[in-house]
Amino acid sequence: MGRRASSQVNRSTCTRAVNAELQTESKPQSRADPSVEEEVVVVGGGIAGLSTALALHRMGIKSLVLESAPGPRDSGAAIALWRNAWRALDVLGVGEKLRHDYILLDRVQLCTKKGKVVREFGLDEVKGGPHEYRGVHRSALLKVLASELPEGTVRYGTSVQQVLPLDGGQGTELILGGGERLSAKVVIGCDGTKSAVARHLALPQPNYAGYSAIRGVANFPNGHNQKSAVRQIWGAGVRAGTYPMNRTDVYWFTVFNSPEEEPCPSCGRHGTEAAGAGLGRGWGGDILNIIRATPAEATTRSDIRDRWTLPKPVGGQSTWGRGSVTVAGDAAHPMTPNLGQGGCAALEDAVVLARELAKAKVSNDTKTSQNGHRADKSTSLDPQAVEDVLRRYERERIPRAAKLTVQSWVYGTLLQIGFPPVTFARDNVVVPYLFQPDHWLDHTLYDCGELPTS
């Protein structure tokens, strides 16, 4: 599968400047404390962090997750999970815990902004089925992942401020908020688009894509009347979408061209205001009613950013990791949400990373660490082997993430075109008569593989 993805990346003809070469990092001072306290520290307890910790746990590798938020997140609207994500969740052993609470979406409706459906198709018409597509509450996904971790795995209210290499190159020191220091054999940065770990690795800052999104979940206590379909509504430089999640909740989003970090034009920062002002003017169908059924505090605005990474290492050097430090999820591959794949790809990362890291496990059970403590057999990693397996993980994941990032950007750029002749042709010719959904979900056919049982 990795080989297939890699060849597809190399075929990409997009001309956008690729900002991927590792910048030279001003050499941080290394510390002379040789005792490594933790085997694996995962920085960030979002989708990437918790799924990575769970995958490691399934492989008998203990980890400590450091999360800056004071407790489990209960906001963040919804996330669409496609077949590749469900596959990863099943490998992690939690797919069934979520699946039954959420509707299986089986149709797609492409609409003009007035609400006219110009193209509708079933997911069973898309090649590679059966497809699985459900929108789940982010908080529910995080809760399910965390519930399978041994107690004490996640340390909330702990922010990583700085990442430093330990002398001798076998381990990393983390400086936490409040000045506490912690050392680890392996550090995995799952700390999102503003990642401190990515900064330590001198990864380039993500680029603004030119548009922002507002999203929310509307609640209809007596039930909604939505079909099990995802609806996309396309205007000029602004679009929206909805899908039902369960009997009472409907997810919606709007995406609009906007200067970076500007409030959306004439509508303030919240979706409910957006519905009442310029953003949704002239929209038909029930999108505005759905948006209005959402309290302002249940909406989120995000400026959309991504980072393009070369699918092959530059000068033999990985574009993601170095030494015993690597990244996963948005810290590794921030991408635009147009394919709905950022979180799905984070789940894939977790499985591949744990499978590789397990190859560095030390087999004897009497290993003694340098500070004299007996290390637990199930969590002991060979520091010599760690770097190799991390680079193998990166080689497997970088081409996959690079392809998703570019494809998502292209899709978003086309959909955000605001030039009326182009949108007229889209709504009246391209979508109703030329668009074929056959290969629409090829990117969700990726299989992250299993976690070996021994």
Of residues 284-313, which lie at the interface with ligand FAD (CB under 6 A)? 302
Of residues 28-57, which lie at the interface with ligand FAD (CB under 6 A)? 43-49
Which residue from 213, 229, 288, 415 is in contact with ligand FAD, where contact means CB under 6 A?
213
Q: Residues in contact with ligand FAD, total (CB under 6 A)?
A: 33
Which residue from 346, 350, 375, 441 is in contact with ligand FAD, where contact means CB under 6 A?
346
Q: Which stretch binds ligand FAD (CB under 6 A): 26-34, 223-231, 328-336, 427-435?
A: 328-336
Nearest to ligand FAD of 253, 283 (CB atom)? 253
Q: 3-state secondary structure string, the chain?
A: CHHHHHHHHHCCCCCCCCCCCCCCCCCCCCECCCCCCEEEEEECCCHHHHHHHHHHHHCCCCEEEECCCCCCCCCCCEEEECHHHHHHHHHCCCHHHHHCCCCCCCEEEEEECCCCEEEEEEHHHCCCCCCCCEEEEHHHHHHHHHHCCCCCCEECCCCEEEEEEECCCCCEEEEEHHHCEEEEEEEEECCCCCCHHHHHCCCCCCEEEEEEEEEEEEECCCCCCCCCEEEEEECCCEEEEEEECCCCEEEEEEEEECCCCCCECCCECCHHHHHHCHHHCCCCCCHHHHHHCCCHHHEEEEEEEECCCCCCCECCECCCCECCEEECHHHCCCCCHHHCCHHHHHHHHHHHHHHHHHHHECCCCCCECCCCCECCHHHCECHHHHHHHHHHHHHHHHHHHHHHHHHHHHHHHHHCCCCHHHHHHHHHHHHHHHCCCCCCCHHHHCCCCCCCCC
Q: Which stretch binds ligand FAD (CB under 6 A): 5-13, 189-197, 309-317, 397-405?
A: 189-197
Which residue from 165, 192, 241, 321 is in contact with ligand FAD, where contact means CB under 6 A?
192
Q: What is the pattern of x (binds ligand FAD, CB under 6 A) and - over residues 146-165? A: -------------xx-----
Q: Does residue 108 belong to the site contacting ligand FAD (CB under 6 A)?
A: no
CB of 367 to ligand FAD, least distance (A): 29
Q: Does residue 191 belong to the site contacting ligand FAD (CB under 6 A)?
A: yes
Nearest to ligand FAD of 203, 331 (CB atom)? 331
Of residues 58-87, which lie at the interface with ligand FAD (CB under 6 A)? 66-69, 79-80
Nearest to ligand FAD of 324, 408 (CB atom)? 408
Nearest to ligand FAD of 245, 375 (CB atom)? 245
Q: Does residue 215 belong to the site contacting ligand FAD (CB under 6 A)?
A: yes
CB of 112 to ligand FAD, least distance (A): 22
CB of 331 to ligand FAD, least distance (A): 6
Q: Does residue 245 belong to the site contacting ligand FAD (CB under 6 A)?
A: no
| Interface contacts to ligand FAD, rule CB under 6 A | 43-49, 66-69, 79-80, 159-160, 190-192, 196, 213, 215, 253, 302, 329-331, 337, 340-344, 346
